[in-house]
Every structure is written in C-alpha cells, then in structure tokens.
C-alpha cells in the first residue's frame, strides 16, 4: 500500500458565533510552478532560496501600463527606475520595450551607460550628483533633474566651463492632499521656491530648461493626489510660456503607484484596495488634457514607474528549515528566506503559497528567516498550511527593491533567474561565493597570522 503524504497532527477549537465578515476561510492556494516551470525543478537546478522573475509578466505589465497612458494622452515616455531593480537583464527587458533609464546616482548612471543606453535617454535624478557625475551628464546630453539650489549654481558654473548648455529640469514638491508630504526633494510649489528656481534658470541664460519633474510619494493608494499634482505641474508649464514664452519638452510625473502587495497594518489586502494603472493614468492624463496646452506646446508625459511594473513579476522560492512552537503557544516556521534577502518584509505582508499539495488545515504562524537575529521575521502572523521540514513555498510580489536593497549579511546572496517567454529559465545573477567577498578585503601584513 502506498503511504499517504504526512502532515503534522493539529487540533483547533471550533469557535461558534458570528462568522467573519469575509465568510469561511478558503482552502490555501498552491503554487507548484512559475510560468509553467515547476518550483521543484527550479530548486534542483538553481538552489534555494531563489529569486525568480517572469519575463512574460514584466512585458505584459509594461505594455498594459503603456497602453493605459498612451490611449489617454498622445505623447508618453516611460523611464525605467534603476533603483527599483538594476539587474542588467531586468533593465534590458524594459529598454527593449522602449523605456529610457531613470537613475539617482553616478553608479546607476554608469550602469545604464554600460548597458548601452544613450546619454540623452538617461534621466538623472536625486540629491547626490558629484561634479564628475554632472560633467559626464552634460557631455552626454542627459536630462539633469535639479534637486536643490546648490546643484543649480554648480550647473551654472559647469555650463561656463563646458561651453555647452546643460539640459535641465527641476524637481517640484507640493501639497497634493496626502500624508506624509514629501518635501525633502526639489523645490516647493506652494511657497514660491519652484518659481524662484525657474526664474534663476531662465535669467541665467546658462541652462536649457527642458522639463518639470515631480514624484509625490511612494506606494500611493490615492489617484486624486496625482490629479492635483498634474494640475500644479501644468500650471507651472503654462506659467513659463506666459512669463518667458518658453516651451518645455516634458512633464515628468515620477512614479509611486501602489502594487497588489499588502502594507503592514492595512485592514484589507492589497489586491482589493490598490487602484488599477488605468485609474492612475486617467487621473494624470485628464488633468494634463484639461490644462488646454496648444497642440505645439503639448509636453511629453514622462513616467518613472518602478515598483508598479516589476513587483508582481518577481517571486522568491524558499524552503522550510524547521517548525517549532513558541512559548506563547504560537506556531513558528523557520524558512531560508530572511530579511537580508526579502527586505520588503519590513513593510509588506507578503503572500506566501505552498508549492506542494496541502490540506485545508492551517495554523496561525510566524515565519522566521534563518538569521540569528531577533528582527528576522518574514511574516508576523499568517494562517499557514501545515508545511513540513524541506517543503517549498513561493513568496509573491518580491520584484521591487529586493535585489537592490538586499544585504550580504550572515549568508551569501543566492541565484537570480528569469524565465523567458518560452518557459526557459536563465541565470541572470550568479550566487555569491566566499571568494567574491574575500576579493574585496585586505588583511594588513601584521594581522595575517595567529595562533590559538
């Protein structure tokens, strides 16, 4: 007789009373493959933990977003936000789809150049641009988004030296009716800082003002805030036309659109409350269309969406290392994915699905990572099916920020693979080895030997 799949014995007291608002709990969903490639075969080939990207899902998401904006506004340009995920293969999928690059440091700028992005298609944002970075950007005709007056004066100075007018935009911060209000980047709209900066640029005669930029926040669940922002940006653009008879080429609305992830403390799951990309597109484009630009002065709408385009196309496969019961009686599962690899578990309640058959039985559990650190908690409280040691699971919506904010901490960083549109997995970043770490370190002569 063939033996049955084992599941640890559990008992749960039945509570009578009012049913939950959302009805009976559902049978746990199982995810045994990603884009048709079985989780087990991926682990066998590339190990666990493992980052997995779906090329198909990235392209689908990009095309859906592009369509949402381009069907509502005639001139749309996306620029891929490098800080969200700058693995070369990921960036190149976006560049193949037509995205420019949006970078926030000299390192990211060089990375975009090394991948072959033309200088004029690299938008240079952020508060930290060294003189060398700025000189490079001026030479390559990259749009430089000015963050503060110190940078503005540096650029005026460099313009004289280079004998060439840098192409610039300024970053605007504003009140869009949301909290928190991001006022640390750029120049404020309401208090006149923005006009002060624009006047300085126009009167200097040394800078070519080509655009206006804003980025109102991150993981925004309100489309109204974008409508307000677009109205204020259009107002500045029209004002430049009236005051200086100057036409800007683009309005850059940044990104910050929320994804289907669930923020910690959120009452409802992310999939239920996140506005669709069409909702965001409608809010922004209708405000710009209603600003009544004349046909020849209609600015290009630039979008720097990062998270919304990659988050849901990224998965992590992990393995259960152990199960234990805590002093409080709560079940704890220790997994091989820690906060060093899944940085976003600090603010998301990531969806976790088992990769093999389970019954409908679950236990309220904590999922710990493998690190010997008390803060290493992947999920604080989750109704988890009864996973055995060695079982695999899939963590959802991990594509944004995890491969840029990951830490080489206690363990080495694992393999990253991308499944192409034909269901073929490709290694896109090799796992680190001790040699990789040692290569960067130097031990002074007098510290080389010791006796114990």
Interface ranges with another protein (CB under 8 A): 3-14, 325, 329, 359, 361, 386, 388-389
Nearer to another protein, 232 or 392 (CB): 392
Concatenating the DSSP letter of every residue in 309-357 gives HHGGGEEEEEEEEEEEE-TTS-EEEEES--TTT-GGGGTB---EEESS-
| CA 212 to chain centroid | 22
Phi, psi of 139 (to 5 degrees): -60, -40
The contacts of residue 379 (CB under 8 Å, 6+ apart) are 345, 349, 350, 352, 365, 366, 367
Residue that the structure tokens 């079940």 belong to: 331
d(CA 360, CA 28): 6
Nearer to another protein, 5 or 292 (CB): 5
Residue 16 CB, shortest distance to another protein, in Å, is 8
Phi, psi of 53 (to 5 degrees): -115, 145
Residue 321 CB, shortest distance to another protein, in Å, is 13
Describe the crossing of helices 131-139 and 106-115 by its angle, rounded to 10 degrees: 30
Residue 378 CB, shortest distance to another protein, in Å, is 21
Burial 344-371 (b: 16+ CB within 10 A, else e): bbeebbbbbbbbbebeebbbebbbbbbb
Nearer to another protein, 361 or 409 (CB): 361
Nearer to another protein, 4 or 184 (CB): 4
Residue 9 CB, shortest distance to another protein, in Å, is 4
Residue 14 CB, shortest distance to another protein, in Å, is 4
Residue 327 CB, shortest distance to another protein, in Å, is 12
Residue 328 CB, shortest distance to another protein, in Å, is 11
Label residue 284 exposed, middle or buried (CB < 10 Å: 0-12, 13-18, 19+): buried
Nearer to another protein, 7 or 141 (CB): 7
Describe the crossing of helices 131-139 and 149-162 by its angle, rounded to 10 degrees: 50
Nearer to another protein, 12 or 448 (CB): 12
Phi, psi of 276 (to 5 degrees): -75, 165
Nearer to another protein, 16 or 294 (CB): 16
Nearer to another protein, 147 or 336 (CB): 336
The contacts of residue 320 (CB under 8 Å, 6+ apart) are 333, 334, 335, 387, 388, 389, 390, 391, 392, 393
Residue 394 CB, shortest distance to another protein, in Å, is 22
CB 196 within 8 A of CB 187: yes
Residue 429 CB, shortest distance to another protein, in Å, is 35
Nearer to another protein, 161 or 389 (CB): 389
């Amino acid at each position: 007789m063939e033996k049955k799949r084992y599941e640890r014995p559990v008992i749960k007291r039945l509570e009578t009373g009012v049913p939950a608002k959302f009805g009976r709990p559902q049978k746990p969903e199982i995810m045994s493959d990603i884009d048709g490639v079985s989780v087990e075969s991926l682990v066998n080939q590339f190990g666990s933990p493992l980052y997995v990207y779906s090329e198909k899902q990235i392209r689908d998401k990009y095309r859906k977003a592009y369509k949402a904006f381009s069907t509502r506004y005639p001139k749309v340009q996306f620029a891929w936000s490098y800080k969200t995920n700058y693995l070369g293969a990921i960036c190149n999928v976006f560049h193949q789809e037509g995205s420019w690059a949006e970078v926030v440091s000299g390192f990211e700028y060089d990375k975009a150049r090394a991948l072959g992005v033309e200088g004029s298609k690299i938008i240079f944002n952020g508060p930290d641009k060294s003189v060398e970075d700025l000189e490079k950007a001026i030479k390559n005709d990259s749009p430089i988004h000015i963050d503060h007056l110190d940078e503005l004066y540096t650029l005026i100075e460099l313009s004289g030296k280079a004998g060439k007018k840098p192409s610039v935009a300024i970053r605007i911060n504003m009140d869009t009716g949301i909290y928190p209000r991001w006022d640390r980047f750029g120049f404020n709209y309401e208090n006149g800082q923005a006009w002060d900066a624009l006047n300085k640029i126009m009167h200097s005669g040394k800078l070519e003002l080509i655009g206006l930029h804003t980025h109102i926040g991150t993981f925004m669940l309100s489309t109204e805030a974008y409508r307000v922002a677009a109205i204020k940006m259009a107002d500045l653009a029209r004002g430049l036309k009236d005051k200086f008879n100057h036409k800007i080429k683009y309005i850059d609305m940044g990104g910050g659109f929320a994804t289907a992830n669930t923020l910690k403390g959120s009452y409802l799951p992310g999939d239920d409350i996140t506005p669709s990309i069409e909702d965001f597109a409608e809010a922004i484009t209708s405000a710009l269309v209603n600003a009544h630009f004349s046909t020849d002065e209609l600015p290009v709408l630039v979008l720097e969406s990062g998270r919304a385009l990659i988050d849901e196309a990224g998965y992590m496969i992990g393995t259960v290392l152990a199960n234990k019961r805590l002093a409080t009686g709560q079940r704890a599962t220790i997994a091989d994915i820690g906060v060093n690899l899944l940085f976003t578990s600090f603010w998301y309640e990531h969806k976790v699905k088992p990769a093999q058959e389970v019954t409908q039985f679950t236990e309220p559990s904590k999922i710990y990572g493998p690190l010997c650190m008390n803060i290493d908690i992947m999920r604080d409280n989750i109704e988890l099916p009864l996973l055995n040691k060695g079982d695999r699971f899939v963590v959802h919506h991990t594509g944004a920020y995890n491969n840029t904010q990951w830490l080489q901490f206690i363990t080495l960083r694992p393999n990253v693979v991308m499944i192409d549109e034909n269901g073929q997995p490709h290694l896109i970043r090799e796992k680190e080895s001790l040699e990789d770490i040692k290569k960067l370190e130097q031990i002074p002569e007098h510290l080389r030997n010791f006796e114990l």
